[in-house]
Structure formats: structure tokens, C-alpha cells
A and B are shown apart, each in its own frame.
Chain A
């Protein structure tokens, strides 16, 4: 199954790094959509079929936590796999997001971590990932 993925982060270089890392991790990728804040992320979800969202927390306009709350409030998205990719260091906040069904990847991240978490949350029967550790 090829995954249609939404990457939500206000940093263009971080979006590029995440997308490159997803490719390096050997995941089966379909369409990849990008958004620079939570509101844009909701708009992308509205207009496209998305299998997985990777979401930052601290963003202008609408942060990732608010976006996740709005996603979970919609019945059609209530089971959407969401991975928070953030520098967030507060265990309090991380646990709050995990209670909303999101998994968490701490920045900086490795291709192995991305591959494992995405495989786990999407239920992919992924072949063992041989990540290119040069990246």
C-alpha cells in the first residue's frame, strides 16, 4: 500500500528533511502533501485523501496541538494516524498529545526512527528497513 502523506511544518527545510527521510527509510510513498501551519494542514486534509499526517507543534496561525484537536473532532478523521515531529520536551504536553492518539518523534530524528514509527502507526507490514545512515 502506498501511503499518501501530509507533512505539516512551518519550516520548509524541515518539511524537505522529513520527506527525504521518509524516502530513505524505504517506506511505500504515494502522494506527499505539504502545509506550513495547522490551518493549511486542515485544508489539505479536506481536499485530499491522506493516510498519515506528520505534524509539528509550534507553528504560526494554528499550532499542531489545535490542529490535532480539530482533526479528532471530525468523525471522518478521528482515526487518522498522526505523528507529531517536534522538539517538544515537555512530557506533560507529549502525554496530552498521545492521549489524542498521536505518536511522537523528537527532533532531531533518524530515518530509522521515522521508518519504525510510521510502520507501527500505519500497520504497514514493512520489510526490514535498511536506512541510508549517510543522511
Chain B
């Protein structure tokens, strides 16, 4: 392990994967947002469960006004064109979460592990739970975007030991007097 580079936390990885997904899938550029419970007021919360070497669930929450631009951007709809249909709006947040989860798991567990990712579901009540029986929260990333705010939360099996592989090959430490 490179001692000069701290191992990223699950929240760091969640942020990175979320940032890349919003950018590449929906052309939205997230900025980090400080923790501010008073700011929570989600319009839509979506959940996806996964099983494999360890199980868990990932949530995405978005603020009011985010869903329409999210779906429109994913479909490449310019303003003035047709608007996304209702089912496409729901599918937009589900697909966003599907891509986040699919890219998050190999990032934290390695590319050799096989996971099964269930179909994402939109919650009737737009609330991300603080606690879930049998699971523990291991990561959280909040972000501000042009059209609103979003949050990603990762829960995994309580007590699960996750050995995140090193993203880089080990580097030879510099030897005193070496070139």
C-alpha cells in the first residue's frame, strides 16, 4: 500500500462512482455538499438490493425538480422537445441507481466477485432510513447539482468484512540514496 495515499473510504468511493454516473449518464456535474440534515427534503428515493459475497442495499435520493431534467438529459431531450413520459421518469432514477450500484460493487469488492443486483424500486415514502435491521450504513455521499441535490447511501450486512483491493499496483518505496 502506498503510505502517502490513504485508502479511500466507502463514502469516498460512493462519491466518485456517483459523480461519474451523474456526469456520464445524465450530463450533470455534481459538487460535494456538506452534511446538513435540515436540508433533507427528498422528492424521490429509490432503493436497490444486492446479494453476493456480502449483501446490502444502496439508496439514491433526489430533491424536488431533479427528476424531469434527469430523465430529459438521459434521453437527450432538448428543451422544447417532447418531455419524458411518466414511466421513463421513474426508470431514469432507477437506472441511475442501477448504474451506481453496478459500478460501486466492483470498486469496493474487486472485479472477481459476482453479485446479483435486484431491480431498483421507487419508495412510496421518499425517506432514506437511518437504520435497517441486519444492515449497517457504511457510506454516504451528498452532492449539489445544477438542478437540485442528491444523496447516495450504502448499507451492507452488519459485520461484513469487505477487503477492498488496491486500485494501484504496489509501488517500490524510494530507497535512501537511490536514483
Contacts and interface: CB of A to CB of B under 8 A. Distances in A.
B106 interface: yes
Contacts of B107: 89
Nearest to A63: B116
* B contact patch SS: helix
Interface in B66-122: 71, 74-76, 84-85, 87-88, 91-92, 94-95, 98-99, 101-103, 105-107, 111-119
Contacts, number: 70
B98 to A, nearest CB: 6
For chain A, the bracket of interface size reads: 20 to 34
A108 B21 CA distance: 7
Interface residues of B, number: 32
Contacts of B116: 58
A98 interface: no
B16 interface: no
B91 A12 contact: yes
B71 A90 contact: no
Nearest to A21: B76
